[in-house]
Structure 1
Amino acid sequence: MIWLARRRADLAAGIGLLTRLPAGWLSTDAAGMDLGRSVWTWPLVGLALGAMGGLVLGGLASVGLDRHLAAAWAVALQILLTGGLHEDGLADTADGFGGGRDRERKLAIMRDSRIGSYGALALGMGLLIRVTAAAAAPHPAIAMTLAGGLGRAAMAGLSATMKPARQDGLAATLPGIPRPALAACLLIPLAAALLVLPVGRALQSCGAAALAAILLGRLARQQIGGLTGDVLGATAIGVECCILTLLSIAAAPA
């Protein structure tokens, strides 16, 4: 019973962190929630969000709506469900990295709730790529589902391998992620990819997600010396863009 209670608490923590969906009913023991231990649920939440978006895209397209417009509504649903959490992180990261002169100034800009030109451009390009690539994917439900799962797994991977850039905030609460939780977090989207894609394509997708996360992590280390919650959000969006683009290539004319 203790094992089950902890898993329910993990799921509540993961849903509560990554979405605006009510999750308190899953666990009544708020004190038993642990963000680090909950990382195994992050790709599950991402897979679910992606699947919902993919089903909306497919459903709207099946009744005659243009695929690009259907994809826009699908992404809009995902943003509604997450409260724009990752998009906000992407915009703040772009503003900080692009507008700050030094590490301290970059971190200060990233905490500013206002959006600047770099953030607006990054946000616009992120939305454009996601909508266009999802619309072009031959199997949008699969593409959006895997993109969501791999994006959240990439967040956990960076959290486990990078030090926080500041002593407060989300990233500072995550060091010390249990190895079993991290292993499950990475294996879940891999298993999902192998289930719905040919082996080569699945490994290619996971490799692309890992590469995108590594590059974003290296950029964050160069810019601000570590990880922040905003960088995690930017990583989720960046990986989603890469995976959706990769899985849309099959739709390109020969």
Structure 2
Amino acid sequence: MSRKHHWHRQSDLFFVALGFFTRIPMPSWVEVDGDKLNQASRYFGLVGLCIGLCCAFVFWLSQLWLPAGVAVLLAMIAGVLLTGGFHEDGLADTADGFGGGWCVADKLSIMKDSRLGTYGALALVLALLLKWQLLVELALYAPMVAVWALVLGHCLSRVLAASIIFTETYVRDDDSSKSRPLAQTQGIDELLILLATGLLLLLCLNGVVAFALLIALWLIRCLLVALFRRQIGGYTGDTLGAAQQLAELGCYLVLLAMGNAL
């Protein structure tokens, strides 16, 4: 494979990942197939970095004229508009399925249902409120702390969520799930590039903060994997969305706890 063809394929994979996880349209010259969808998982962290940068820019610009709480809310709205609430939907569906189903089949059926239940509504509202409060508290340290938090939270949480594809089993056999094209395989190349994205970002931080984030995210991943295995025996697209949202909140919690070290 020539170098030109290699970089052309890598750009295709990035745009496939960007188109899958955001409302940003892919260029017309990008051809999508099952193989590219599998390999595109290597760039999920990079997509998260792009989303985080956009949200951080909205926050930074807004806080120049508006109170921190309003600026944080605008940044959150920007993130939802960019992704179409993709991950928030996964969190709500996962909460409904795990909370309302008695067996695996019931849980998967409930998660596939487009209607929002009590468990999903509670999870979504509480997660959004907690996210807003954590970011406002971080902004009180300094606006740039919240800027960094948004970038880190969006990138690292997607690295964690996508890494679950590598080790866990996809448990839905039909084509109704949002993650079905990504559930076939994730090779070691995809995993290494995915992890490298997060590690490179962590290298930009204070060593103590970076280490705390690394340990916290590893623990969050272990807990989520154990929960998913116990509840449904693996993962679905909805549980990946839930993992992203919970990992993002975990990042903000760690950063707030480590505030004096930032």
The TM-score, its normalising length taken from structure 1, stands at 0.93
Q: Using the TM superposition, name which of 91-100 and 151-160 deviates more.
A: 151-160
How far did 1:190 drift?
Answer: 1.3
- Partners of 1:42 and 1:185 lie apart in 2 by 7
**One of 221, 244, 252 as aligned partner of 1:244:** 252
Contact residue 166 and residue 172 of structure 1 kept, 8 A: no
User: How far 1:203 moved relative to its partner?
Assistant: 2.0
Q: Which residue of 2 aligns with 1:182?
A: 191
Match of 2:107 in 1: 106
Gaps of 5+ in 1: none
Question: How many residues in Structure 1 have an aligned counterpart in Structure 2?
Answer: 249
The corresponding residue for 1:36 is 38
- What is the Cα deviation at residue 250 of structure 1? 4.2
Return the letter of the residue paired with 1:188: T
In the TM superposition, 1:12-23 aligns within 5 A as 12-23=15-26
Identity %: 34
Q: Which residue of 2 aligns with 1:60?
A: 62
Does structure 2 retain, via aligned residues, the 8 Å contact 1:13–1:33?
A: no
Unpaired stretches in structure 2, ≥5 consecutive residues? none
SS at 1:36 equivalent: helix
SS class of match (1:34): helix
Larger mean CA deviation between 233-242 and 171-180 belongs to 171-180
Q: Deviation at 1:24?
A: 2.5
| Cα distance in structure 2, aligned partners of 1:39 and 1:93 | 21
TM-score using structure 2 length: 0.90
**1:50 aligned to 49, 52, 74, which one?**
52
Secondary structure at 2:185 match in 1:
coil
RMSD: 1.6
Q: Give the deviation of 1:28 after TM superposition.
A: 2.9
Match of 1:3 among 2, 6, 28: 6
Specify the alignment match of 1:159 in structure 2. Answer: 165
Q: Which residue of the partner structure matches residue 212 of structure 2?
A: 204
By how many angstroms is 1:208 displaced?
1.4
What is the letter of the counterpart of residue 256 of structure 2? S
Partner of 2:71: 70
Residue 173 to residue 167, structure 1, CA distance change in 2 (3 Å): farther
Specify the alignment match of 1:145 in structure 2.
Answer: 151
* Matching residue's letter, 1:243: C
> Are the equivalent residues in 2 in contact too, given 1:16–1:22 (CA < 8 A)?
yes
Aligned counterpart for 1:221 among listed residues 197, 219, 229: 229
